[in-house]
Structures are given as structure tokens and as C-alpha cells.
């Protein structure tokens, strides 16, 4: 039996995965968390025993590459399979380099997800075939000045607001969106840009004259 810890902030994902695992038979949900902070607490106190972590990299709060790095520091041998809505090559490369063993999109079939769980739990690596060609052949960014050109207009707007010291609540009010949506955009832009902290974001924004 493969025991899986599910880290995702959407209850519908938790429910869907539990149903899938029951149908499969030899995979079970060993626990569920909805934030990076809660996950690190579970890892730190040893309250959960599981074989594989199924991780959403866009949860509010601590997430993305920074979260993966901290997981690996606590549990270096823990297999991590990322399950994400994102499929951009630069994001896939960064999470794999940070220590994840596999990457599957939330648009993948159930058969692909099950195959990925089995492969990664056995110590292997797995990348969804729908994006592996992009990951292999998409050219990496050649210089930093081009990096923020890959952000969506909303992501760039939020990046500039963060660099100016605005809180998530303030940005949400300015953009007429929820705090959770701001957190999702932040997580995505941090991954795209490869930032490990807000300090790196601010430094980049200043260096590239994105804020006054």
C-alpha cells in the first residue's frame, strides 16, 4: 500500500483524490493539509507516516520552490510529486531542480496520476508526457532582464505592488479580487521568476526600474 500525504488548499481536490485512491485499491490518503506551514509542522513533529507527498505548489502562504527546499531539508529522502495547474517549462524545471521527483498537471488523466504516484513512490522520476517535450526543448531565459516579460499583466501588477510593500489584503482591495487569488498569483510569479523570498523580488524590481 502506498500511503500519500495530500497538500492542496482545495477541498474538492482532497475529496476527488480520496475517491480515486479508493478505486485504485493499493494507494491510500495518509493525511491532508491545506498550507505549507501545516505541512512543515506535520513533517517536523513526525505525526504523520507516509510514503509520498503529493504537493500543490500554489497554496497560499509558503509555497513553490521555497516550500520544496524546506521539505527536502527536513525529509531529504521523501519522494515529492507535484500536482499543479501550471505547466510552464520554467516552473517545471525549477521545482524539479529544487528536489521534486515528479510533475503532473491537474489536467492529466487519472491513469497518468496513478502511474506517476507508483513510479515516484518506488524511487523513480516522472514528468507528464504532455509537457516533457516543452521542458526539454523550451530555451531557458538567457538573461535576467527578460524574466519579467513572461509574467501576465496581473502577475506583473501584483509583483510591483509587493515590491512597493503592499500587503496581500491591500493588493486584493486595489485589484478587486480575493486575498486567496492574490496569493495564487504571487506563488505563480515567484515560481516563474525563481524568487526565494520577498527580498529577492524587491531587489529585482528596483534593479529593473519596475518601481520608483
Contacts of 212 (CB under 8 A, 6+ apart): none
pLDDT 10s per residue in the chain (212 long)?
999 999 998 888 999 999 999 998 899 998 899 988 999 998 888 767 899 999 998 887 778 888 898 899 888 899 999 998 888 887 888 888 889 999 999 888 999 999 999 999 999 999 988 787 777 766 554 444 457 877 888 888 899 999 999 998 999 898 888 888 888 888 888 888 888 788 888 888 888 888 86
Q: What DSSP character marks residue 141?
A: P
Q: What is the DSSP letter of 148?
A: G
Q: How many residues make up the chain in this entry?
A: 212
Q: Which of 16, 17, 10 is nearest to 33 (CA)?
A: 10
Domains and CATH numbers, the chain: 2-137 (3.40.50.2300), 144-207 (1.10.10.10)
H-run or E-run covering 155: helix 153-163
Sheet holding 52-55, edge to edge: 27-33, 2-7, 52-55, 80-84, 102-105, 126-127
Q: Which of 78, 85, 92 is nearest to 30 (CA)?
A: 78
| pLDDT on residue 138 | 64
Q: Helix, strand, coil % (nearest 5) of the chain? A: 55, 15, 30
User: What cell was used for 50?
Assistant: 507516509
Q: In whole angstroms, what is the distance from residue 103 CA to residue 82 CA? A: 5
Whole-number pLDDT of residue 53: 96
Amino acid at each position: 500500500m502506498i500511503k500519500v500525504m495530500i497538500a492542496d488548499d482545495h477541498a474538492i481536490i482532497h475529496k476527488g483524490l480520496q475517491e480515486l485512491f479508493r478505486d485504485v485499491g493499493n494507494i491510500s490518503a495518509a493525511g491532508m493539509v491545506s498550507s505549507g506551514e501545516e505541512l512543515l509542522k506535520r513533517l517536523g513533529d513526525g505525526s504523520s507516516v507516509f510514503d509520498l507527498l503529493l504537493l500543490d505548489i500554489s497554496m497560499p502562504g509558503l509555497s513553490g520552490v521555497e516550500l520544496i527546499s524546506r521539505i527536502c531539508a527536513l525529509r531529504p529522502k521523501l519522494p515529492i510529486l507535484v500536482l499543479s495547474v501550471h505547466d510552464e517549462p520554467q516552473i517545471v524545471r525549477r521545482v524539479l531542480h529544487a528536489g521534486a521527483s515528479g510533475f503532473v498537471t491537474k489536467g492529466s488523466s487519472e491513469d497518468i496520476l496513478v502511474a506517476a504516484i507508483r513510479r515516484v513512490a518506488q524511487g523513480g522520476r516522472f514528468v507528464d508526457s504532455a509537457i516533457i517535450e516543452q521542458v526539454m526543448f523550451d530555451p531557458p531565459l538567457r538573461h535576467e532582464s527578460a524574466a519579467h516579460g513572461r509574467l501576465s499583466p496581473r502577475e506583473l501588477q501584483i509583483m510591483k505592488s509587493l515590491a512597493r510593500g503592499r500587503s496581500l489584503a491591500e493588493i486584493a482591495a486595489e485589484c478587486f479580487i480575493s486575498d486567496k487569488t492574490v496569493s495564487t498569483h504571487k506563488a505563480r510569479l515567484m515560481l516563474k521568476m525563481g524568487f526565494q523570498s520577498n527580498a529577492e523580488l524587491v531587489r529585482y524590481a528596483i534593479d529593473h526600474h519596475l518601481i520608483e
